[in-house]
Amino acid sequence: MKKSLLTLLLGGLLMASTYAKTVVCYFSCTGNTKALAETAAKALNADLFEIIEAQNKQRFQ
């Protein structure tokens, strides 16, 4: 997990130096992905964007 995260962050750093702006988008039910996204956004100096549900999921259960 740590190796893949490091690879992701290094790849993001290379892309960030090529493009004008970087954004980290995430969806998190439990908060684990949010914490990871915040860490990645900080390391990449990127904007952070949370994806939220448009409708209540209980309707579909």
Domain total for the chain?
Answer: 1
Distance CA 36, CA 12 (A): 14
Position 53 confidence tier, pLDDT thresholds 50, 70, 90: confident
pLDDT for 51 equals 92
Residue 41 near residue 24 (C-beta atoms within 8 A):
yes
pLDDT for 8 equals 65
| pLDDT: which is higher, 30 or 6 | 30
Which domain range does residue 54 map to?
A: 2-60
Position 48 confidence tier, pLDDT thresholds 50, 70, 90: very high
> How many angstroms separate the first and last alpha carbons of the chain?
32
| pLDDT: which is higher, 53 or 49 | 49
